[in-house]
Structure 1
Amino acid sequence: MSKKETTRHTNNFTEWIVCTAEPIGTVDEPHFVKMINGLNPSYKVPCRQTIRKLILDGYKMKKMQIIEELAAVTSRFSLTTDMWQASARKQSYLAITLQWIDNEWKLRNVILDFRYMPKNHSGENMKNVVMETLQEFKVAHRIFGVTTDGALNMVKFFELLVMEMGVEKPNTFWNCCAAHIVNKVAEVAIKKEVVTVDKIRACVIYMRRPTIREIFLATIKPATEDLKLPLDVSTRWNSFLHMVESAYPRRHELYDYLSAQEGAIRDEVPSAEEWIDMEDLIELLKPLKAVSALWICELAKDMLVKLDECLRLSWEKPGVRMQVPMIARLLDPSIKDAYLPSAKSRTAAGTMLKHIV
């Protein structure tokens, strides 16, 4: 095998390790090495030290490419950041994403960093991490808007970030994610029925056991093999509604079966009255699910298309460069009063907005 072919195979192998999140130690696994040798006896699987070096070199090269690409962008950037937790190890990570519109009027985005956050998740700590990342990519002075959830530490993070960047708030504005707001409304509704919610969740967990599920299916008449009881996930929007909607049609069978079981599960079975309360909750959550889906998918895409058309037609007209950020701010009711203080500014933005929507 030529050196060129060996390099190509090794690069492909390294890309596979990275893109599939395989552990680097895979290269030392005997059965894996045997499989590769069987496919191509002349290719020698590189050691983990070599793969590690190639991954780090590839990261550095890609990072430099991104820095050069961002430097060539003529517009300013929007920043999105959110905190995530790996439930298995309770480890927290801060995702930092940059968005912008390129010279071809295409919406672009790139994940700048996915940073481990072992410290307290205070606004100060998040500001330090984000600012360090923005400085590494040389875009700290070009941030136009910041989108986060509505948590108090995120609000504090934005205030500290603006102070660190040394800009006035009207020149860098904060948006609270609309889908997060809708999700918070749903959480308030769910908390009012927390006892019944906990009961349904306990029943679903119990019924998801393979042996229990098999026995339960045998008791259902007419017979069915379809028993989908998804468990809700706190970080997954609308998952609670999905869980309750799936359990509701089987509420009578679940009551008969679980009430006859031994142990604590008998006390977790929702009563008929509690299921009636769930009917009301389901009807309340349905439109919230529809709104969040509409906002995330269809509405956002439609607004981008219409905004793109408006900008293409009006970009050369005087004053439009100032009206565009005013429109963006007007669309967010939580900040329009702060950033459009005068009646004249609101009228100008409102007039422009009519041409879009």
Structure 2
Amino acid sequence: MKIGVRKLWETVARVSLTVDAWTADNGTGLLGITVHWVDDMWTYRERVLAIREIVGKHDGGNMVSIVLQAQDEFCLRTKVYAVTTDNATANKKMLALLARKVRSVNPTFTAKSIPSAQSVEPEEGDVMMTADQYDNDQDNELVDVYSVSDEIDGPRKPLCLGDAVAKVRNLVRSIRSSTQRRELYTQACEDNPEVEDTNMVVLDCPTRWNSTYDLLAAAVEKRDVLDEVSTAFGRKATSSKLSKDEWELVGQFCRILGRFAVSTDHVCKSVMLAICDVLHLIDGLRVHMEEVVEQIEDGTFFTSV
């Protein structure tokens, strides 16, 4: 099979790689490598080159060993023009080491690190930022305060978006960290006819596009389940329980992020993406945000559907 794959780029002068590292649910570190090239007919092509386990510490040194091994297995060391990753610290160290190791046989090699969705870097040597570090950085950015009015009860207490998002994240983490809470969560999903699946809500990741939207949207969909679980485990768990107003705020925030998620998804799934398509999406997002700001200023954002 490797012989057949090598033939795909025998006549190609240059290929490029994208590299991504992540941690599986069981704690195993994985590194994925994809090769991209243009064939003799000027057709863009790509192939998953390898998905390898990161043995030992999840740092740039171990990661570069995997990348070099994959390049040599498929005779690519002299053909790789560029390697693109996100801007995690371990990835940037891996690129620096890779540049030093291949520059003698491949002087045109270029390393690129693309800023992640939230532009948050993990700690040195880690594939991902720890949950607490991510919480602190993310919540500091979500400091805008909103208030939700109620014609019957009068003005409600001003809400902090960062606090609400942090509560959702802490609540999900609390459930995921306990076997007993996981079981209660699954049972609550099965007992609720409005919940279509029992899958655990996935925590967001600082280097993954739209992951905070995915977290919040899934949490809003399973709001009753999360409230039930948070109530069943005493003071520690209920400290992350969201009020009705906070759930409304999170739901409205999902309205904002949802448009960005749709646009990103469209770009990622487009094989032949033109600059006019990107500009159209950007203009649509600009109009979307202008409408959101206008609705917030005139007080209709929290009542509009």
Q: How does 1:267-306 map to 2 (within 5 A)?
A: 267-279=239-251, 281-298=253-270, 301-303=272-274
> What's the CA shift string for 1:27-74, capped at 9, x where partnerless?
xxxxxxxxxxxxxxxxxxxxxxxxxxxxxxxxxxx112222333232x
Q: In structure 1, which of residues 206, 213, 226 is the aligned counterpart of residue 194 of structure 2?
A: 226
- Is 1:111–2:48 an aligned residue pair? yes
Matched-pair contact (CA < 8 Å) for 2:204–2:214 = no
* Aligned CA-pair RMSD: 3.9
The match for 1:146 is: 83
Equivalent residue of 2:266, what SS?
helix
Alpha carbons of structure 1 residues 132 and 294: separation in structure 2 relative to 1, 3 Å: same
User: How many equivalent residue pairs?
Assistant: 230
Partner of 1:79: 17
Distance 1:172 1:284, change over 3 A: farther
Among candidates 70, 79, 83, match of residue 9 of structure 2: 70
1:22-41 matched pairs, under 5 angstroms: none
Residues 261/107 of structure 1: CA separation in 2 closer, same or farther (3 Å cut): same
Matches within 5 A, 1:184-223: 184=119, 189=138, 192-193=162-163, 195-201=166-172, 202=174, 209-213=185-189, 217=192
CA distance in 2, matches of 1:92, 1:295: 27
- State the partner residue of 1:7: none
C-alpha contact 2:37 2:44 (8 A) present in aligned 1:
yes
Specify which structure has the bigger relative contact order, considering alpha-carbon pairs within 8 angstroms and separated by 6 or more residues.
Answer: 2
Per-residue displacement from partner, 1:204-249 (whole Å, max 9, x unpaired)? 966973543455x4xxxxxxx2224761244675454244335437
Rounded to whole Å, the distance in 2 between the matches of 1:119 and 1:259 is 36
Which residue of the partner structure matches residue 303 of structure 2? none
SS across alignment from 1:144: strand
Please name the residue that 1:132 is paired with. Answer: 69
Tell me which amino acid in the other structure corresponds to 1:226: E
Cα distance, 1:119 vs structure 2: 2.4
Q: Secondary structure at the match of 1:125?
A: helix
Alignment pair present for 1:93 and 2:30: yes
8 Å CA contact 1:100, 1:109 repeated in 2: yes
Change (3 A) 1:160 1:250: closer
Pick closer, same or farther for the CA change 1:210–1:195 going to 2, 3 Å: closer
Q: Distance in 2 between matches of 1:66 and 1:294?
A: 29
CA distance 1:169–1:284, shift in 2 (3 Å): farther
Residue aligned with 1:292, SS: helix
- Aligned partner of 1:42 in structure 2 is none
- The letter of the residue matching 2:74 is F
TM-score, normalised relative to structure 2: 0.60
Contact 1:203 1:268 in 2 (8 A): no
Unaligned runs of 5+ in 1: 1-61, 218-224, 307-357
Map 1:231-246 → 2, pairs under 5 A: 231-234=201-204, 237-246=209-218
* 1:198 partner amino acid: R
Match of 1:175 among 90, 112, 130: 112
Distance 1:177 1:99 in 2: 17
Corresponding residue SS for 2:95: helix
Post-superposition Cα deviations, 1:128-169, rounded to whole Å, max 9, x if no partner, equal 332232223222111111111111221122222122122699
Distance 2:231 2:106 in 1: 62
How far residue 101 of structure 1 moved from its aligned partner, in angstroms, is: 0.7
Amino acid at match of 2:7: E
Q: What do the CA deviations read for 1:282-308 (whole angstroms, capped 9, x no partner)? A: 24433432342133123x5323999xx
- Any idea what SS the aligned residue of 1:131 has? helix
| Structure number with bigger Rg | 1
